[in-house]
Amino acid sequence: MRIGVVDIGTNSTRLLIAEIDDQGRVSELDRRSTVTRLGRGVDADARLGESAMHDTWQVVDDYRARMQEVGIDKAVALMTSAVRDATNGAAFAQSIRDRHGIAPMVLTGEQEARLTFAGATTGLQESGAVLVIDVGGGSTELVIGRQGRVHFHASTQLGVVRQGERYLPNDPPSTSELAALAAEAKAIIGASLPRGLDLPSLRGIAVAGSATQSAAIDLGLARYDPSRVHGHVLTRATLASQLDHLRQLPLEERQRVRGVHPDRALVIVPGLTILLAAIDAFRLQEVTVSEHDILLGAALGLAKPTAPANRS
């Protein structure tokens, strides 16, 4: 079965086209990501802006054309924090159906966490407890499970766009601004922690742009290579060192750092800050970066016989 998944996030809009056989084996046919910043300004005025929606529609137009070119059996457009939080989010979701003919699915925090965990742990040979950290544009998902079963999840109001707009007005950010962001991240994550958790037993997996960009920086990649990023281990010391360096650079210089995609330079500082707060909260010394995330989790779910079809 050929599946198309569009993930319309707060910071980026992404596409996965995959072939999934009856045994659940996945062949990735295409994967794309474009920074659209749909959620810009939502934290302040609770509405999706016209410019942000227009930018996103244009990207989804391109993705829809690619899906038609390849030919797919089912498709879905996932929407997360920005659309959940915006007063005009439901109207935007409907516009994706009306304009592009793709079934929209506005995910709850729980749905987002479970799909992210399903994707991140696919193919993982791990018998112990796993923590998946997904630092997004408007929310951060923290999910703990074992052998594919979720035992705890939290969807927090922490995101690189949300907290970046809230706390980092200056370029580069001041020490006090960054400290305020870090303090809020620590407080929000701390309040979400489950009681009685055996923290030392967890293996950490980090997905999404902050983690993958950090891996690209650590690897010194002039051109992004998902095959090298996937499975790369980031230590806490490495993340802290990167943050200390990048926070001192203005945006124009951050864009020139090897491994940083220019479109993601704006959010790499809040992203690393939130990722470090999550690592510290769970007392991890390292995380493994994964290219498998909510896109794969949704594709696998859509390929199940009980999933509703959306012919494209």
How many alpha carbons lie under 13 Å from residue 236 in its C-beta half-sphere?
12
Q: Assess whether pLDDT exceeds 60 at residue 16.
A: yes
Q: Are 267 and 209 in contact (CB under 8 A)?
A: yes
Q: Is the pLDDT of residue 121 over 90?
A: no
pLDDT band at 197 (very low <50, low <70, confident <90, very high): low
Identify the residue with better confidence: 16 or 149. Answer: 16
Domains and CATH numbers, the chain: 2-108+295-303 (3.30.420.40), 123-289 (3.30.420.150)
Q: What is the pTM of this model?
A: 0.88
- Is 48:27 a contact under the CB 8 Å cutoff? no
pLDDT interval class at 123 (50, 70, 90): confident
Cis peptide, bond prior to residue 172, ω within 30 of zero: yes
Give the residue-averaged pLDDT of 231-260.
95
pLDDT at 306: 58
Q: Is the pLDDT of residue 216 over 70?
A: yes
What is the tens place of the pLDDT at every residue in 104-116?
Answer: 999 988 888 889 8
pLDDT in tens, 255-285: 999 999 998 999 999 999 999 999 999 999 9
Nearest to 203, CA basis, from 155, 145, 153: 145
pLDDT at 309 over 60: no
What is the spatial distance between Cα 292 and Cα 236, in angstroms, rounded to a whole number?
21
The pLDDT value recorded for residue 42 is 84
Question: Which two structure tokens, joined as six digits, stand for 46?
Answer: 């609770």
Mean pLDDT across the stretch 63-76? 95
Mean pLDDT of the chain: 90
Reported as a pLDDT band with limits 50, 70 and 90, residue 198 is low
Which tens digits make up the pLDDT trace of 135-185? 988 889 999 988 778 888 888 989 999 899 899 999 999 999 999 999 999
DSSP 3-state assignment of 201?
helix
Mean pLDDT confidence for 3-20:
94
pLDDT higher than 70, residue 310: no
pLDDT of residue 51: 93
Mean pLDDT score, 239-245: 97
